[in-house]
Structure 1
Amino acid sequence: MKLYYSPGSLGLAPHIALREAGLDFNLVRVDFRTKTTVEGDYFKVTPKGFVPALKLDDGEVITEAPVVLQWIADHSPERKLMPASDSPEHYRALEWLNYVATDIYKGYHTLFSPFLDVGSKLRYIEGYLGPRLSYLDEHLSKNEHLLESGFSVADAFLFNILSWSPRVRVDPSGFTALQQFIARMSERPSVQASLKAEGISLK
Structure 2
Amino acid sequence: MKLYYSPGACSLASHITISELGIEADTVKVDLKTHTTESGEDFLAINKKGYVPYLKIDETKNLSEGVAILQYLADLHPEKDLTPEVGTFERYQLQEWLTFISSELHKAIGTFFTPDALSEVGVEQVTKRIKARLQIVETRLTSNEFLLGGTFTIADAYLFTILSWCKMMSIDISEYTNITVYIEKIANRPSVQTAMKEEGLLG
| TM-score (ref. length: structure 1) | 0.94
Q: 1:121 aligns with which of 120, 123, 136?
A: 123
Between the aligned partners of 1:98 and 1:152, the Cα distance in structure 2 is 14
Report the aligned-residue RMSD. 1.5
Q: Percent identity?
A: 37
CA distance in 2, matches of 1:19, 1:76: 12
* Corresponding residue SS for 1:124: helix
Deviation at 1:123, TM superposition (A): 3.8
Partner of 1:87: 88
**Do the aligned residues in 1 keep the contact of 2:144 with 2:150 (CA within 8 Å)?**
no
Task: Report deviation, 1:111.
Answer: 1.9
SS at structure 1 position matched to 2:63: strand
Correspondence for 2:62: 61
Instruction: Provide the residue aligned with 2:168 in structure 1.
Output: 167
TM-fit CA distance, 1:61: 1.5
- In 1, distance between residues paired with 2:63 and 2:108? 24
Q: Secondary structure at the match of 1:163?
A: helix
Instruction: Determine the structure 2 residue equivalent to 1:9.
Output: 9
SS in 1 for 2:113: coil
Q: Which stretch has the larger CA shift, 42-51 or 55-64?
A: 55-64
Q: 1:19-98 residue pairs with structure 2 within 5 A? A: 19-37=19-37, 38=39, 40-98=41-99
Moved more, 39-48 or 187-196: 39-48
Shift of 1:118: 4.8
Match for residue 101 of structure 2? 100
Corresponding pairs, count: 201
Cα drift, residue 201 of structure 1: 4.3
Amino acid in structure 2 at the alignment position of 1:65: G
5+ residue gaps, structure 2: none
* Offset from partner CA, 1:21-63 (integer Å, 9 cap, x none): 1111011000111101115111121100000000013442101
- Aligned structure 1 segments of 4 or more residues deviating by more than 6 angstroms: none
- With structure 2 as the length reference, what TM-score do the two structures score? 0.94
Return the alpha-carbon distance in structure 2 between the equivalents of residues 143 and 151 of structure 1: 11
Letter in 1 for 2:118: L
Deviation at 1:166, TM superposition (A): 1.5
Between the aligned partners of 1:193 and 1:23, the Cα distance in structure 2 is: 13
